[in-house]
Amino acid sequence: MLLPRLRGCTLLGRLYFARQAKTLLQFAKSTSNPELAASLIERAARLKAQIDADKRPSPSLRAPDVELEE
């Protein structure tokens, strides 16, 4: 479940979780401790599950009512 911050309406987004998961996987690859690597991979999988469970539409860089000029 993604945790919103009330009164500021800041939501942790998919991109944030994706970067965190990527960092965990990179660290898991670099360590020689198999138990630590397994734990990091498990945490990355949980973050991926949070990303997949998020049903909000992806934010675009453009407002939905903006039309491109050609």
- For every residue of 3-70, DSSP letters joined together read -EETTTTEE--HHHHHHHHHHHHHHHHH-S-HHHHHHHHHHHHHHHHHHHH--SPPPPSS-TT-----
- Whether residue 65 is contained in a domain is answered as no
- Whether residue 5 is contained in a domain is answered as no
Instruction: Check residue 40 and give its pLDDT.
Output: 96
- Whether residue 64 is contained in a domain is answered as no
- Whether residue 7 is contained in a domain is answered as no
- Whether residue 39 is contained in a domain is answered as yes
- Whether residue 32 is contained in a domain is answered as yes
Most confident of the ranges 2-6, 7-11, 31-35: 31-35
- Whether residue 61 is contained in a domain is answered as no
Instruction: Give the structural domain span for 33.
Output: 12-53
Give this prediction's pTM. Answer: 0.62
- Whether residue 59 is contained in a domain is answered as no
Domain count, the chain: 1
> Has residue 31 got a pLDDT over 60?
yes
